[in-house]
Amino acid sequence: MTVCSDVVARLTGRAVSDARPLSVALTEVTLDDGRVVVVKRSAEPGAARAEAAGLRWLAAAGSVPLPGVHGHEEGRLVIDRIAQGRPSREAAVRFGRDLAALHAAGAPAFGASPPGGPVDAYIGLAPMRNERGTDWPPWYAEQRVLPYLRRAVDQGTVLAGEAAVVERLCERLPALAGPAEPPARLHGDLWSGNVLWAADGRVWLIDPAAHGGHRETDLAMLRLFGCPHLERVLDGYQEVAPLADGWAGRVGVHQLFPLLVHAVLFGRDYAEQALAVARSAREG
């Protein structure tokens, strides 16, 4: 029995009848009772624990559906496979309503980890530390934007002279952030690849970087990397939880963190996008 099959058998209590690699990190496994699970292998020791805790915390809200978690072991996370379908306008509206309900489930603080989740978590392949804060603008600057700005400067992706553009935006965040809102229960890495249009006609979420944050951050990431029927998603969201006035003008502020993460991981093109967003937001 392979390590993957052995882990699956222990966590599901079923024997493995078949396994099919989907990528370097993902394996689709069929159990002896016909159910299918997915095994995700992480290079970082705490990533599987963080993702499992995030999936469970988001699912506990009873809003957006998420795959069931069988457990994690030896850096491998075992979850149910979700049969994929096609995007539809109806599913988009329902997803918007469900996402609003998920955010409204709340979090103890900005930066709060899911119960059982580590402080040192991840957003995709990148580290993301979940230190708590009570006020969103300074927390967002100190715990999200500035750590990745420093990393981007250290590796030369952002020039030292350019960093001041982002630093000045961080100083102005109290004025740019809009009305104060309570901490929302965020997916935290809500790009289109983590939005799964399922065969059951609903939208499911996968691969979270869950934490307490500002609800506009999830919506900004949907727009940053594209989402089918996004305007219908926003229509459904606003039916349940209308966004504060001026939210559209704050999208760039909320996109700054994921852009800097991508700059560190993937290079200069994303750094230029981050700088453009910072300049635009400052001017706005």
* Active-site residue list: 189
Query: N- to C-terminal Cα distance for the chain?
Result: 59
Q: At 76, is the secondary structure helix, strand, or coil?
A: strand
Query: In the chain, what is the greatest distance between 2 CA atoms, to the nearest angstrom?
Result: 60
* CB proximity list for 147: less than 8 A, separation 6 or greater: 129
Tell me how far apart the alpha carbons of residues 213 and 9 are, in angstroms, rounded to a whole number.
36
How far is 107 from 113, CA to CA, in rounded Å? Answer: 9
Instruction: Tell me the DSSP string of 18-52.
Output: EEEE-SSSEEEEEETTS-EEEEEE-SSTTHHHHHH
DSSP H stretches of helix in the chain: 3-12, 47-59, 89-104, 136-140, 146-154, 163-171, 173-176, 215-225, 230-240, 251-266, 268-283
The pair of structure tokens assigned to 65 is 């559906």
